[in-house]
Amino acid sequence: MKTKKKALGRGLDAILQSPETDITSKDISGNYVVGAIANIAVEKIVSNPFQPRDQFDDELLKELAASIEKQGIIQPITVRKLGYDKYQLISGERRLRASKVAGISEVPCYIRVANDEQMLEMALVENIHRKDLNAIEIAISYQRLIEECELTHEKLSERISKNRSTITNYLRLLKLPAEIQLALRDDRISMGHARALINVTDPEIQLGILKKIIARDLSVRQVEELVRNFQAQPPVTMKDPVELPEFFNSTAVELRDKLGTNVNIRRNNNGKGQIVISFESDQDFSRILALLD
């Protein structure tokens, strides 16, 4: 019996009790811990420096804490062993935080052996599959997987079981002006709105449409139509185009804010120019005329 216990000791217990700190050592093989679950004291788990999210809703944490108090943690968190009695969180930040709120002293954990890159990839991939993520958080996670884990779009598609076109659509959101990304992150616009805005090449026009979306609560279809109207407008050509003095630029901004529509001012070397005021419909034209009176 004693011999049998000693042999079994080379499994999970041996890894948990080992004073070794080199997690890549052959003596602490990942083969011992695949699929294994152990209860670990929460104070022995340090935070994950690669955690993709840094904001958590307090009310949702309290709700999860109440659920954990009644039912326990249904899905174990994932950690890696740093050394003797010390672990680092790979994924499950909300569950760990909620457990602390609930006053739980130990949490069930999957124990993995991973280097930093593998840990980052696992954390990001799990993060992507959460239902409460907004489109910008997903896009940032995709970007980090590509850049920091050196994944191609094809490899990323395989990792997360998403079409490459879906990945591309999310990544394109990160090319939008910061104001639009924030509006999307804060749920003031939807991903449908943002995808329509991507088709506009002028950032100033994008921001002008953003203001209209928020002020008038425009639907995605209305925004798509608005974008088509902008794209259908013929470009205004001027001889000898020059960079506008700051006064003209600031005036254009003031007019846009006052009229609630896109305003372009163009001027050539001779001082001649045009003021182009865009409108969406006959009603919008009448509205702008009233403001100009």
Catalytic residues: 93
Strands 77-83 and 37-41 turn out to be unpaired
Tell me the DSSP string of the chain. Answer: -HHHHHHHTTTHHHHHH-----TT-TTS-GGGTTT-EEEEEGGGEE--TT-S-----HHHHHHHHHHHHHH--SS-EEEEEEETTEEEEEE-HHHHHHHHHTT-SEEEEEEE---HHHHHHHHHHHHHT-TT--HHHHHHHHHHHHHHS---HHHHHHHHT--HHHHHHHHHHTTS-HHHHHHHHTTSS-HHHHHHHHT---HHHHHHHHHHHHHHT--HHHHHHHHHHHHHSPPPP-SSB-PPPHHHHHHHHHHHHHHTS-EEEEEBTTS-EEEEE--SSHHHHHHHHHHH-
Which two structure tokens, joined as six digits, stand for 26?
């052959």
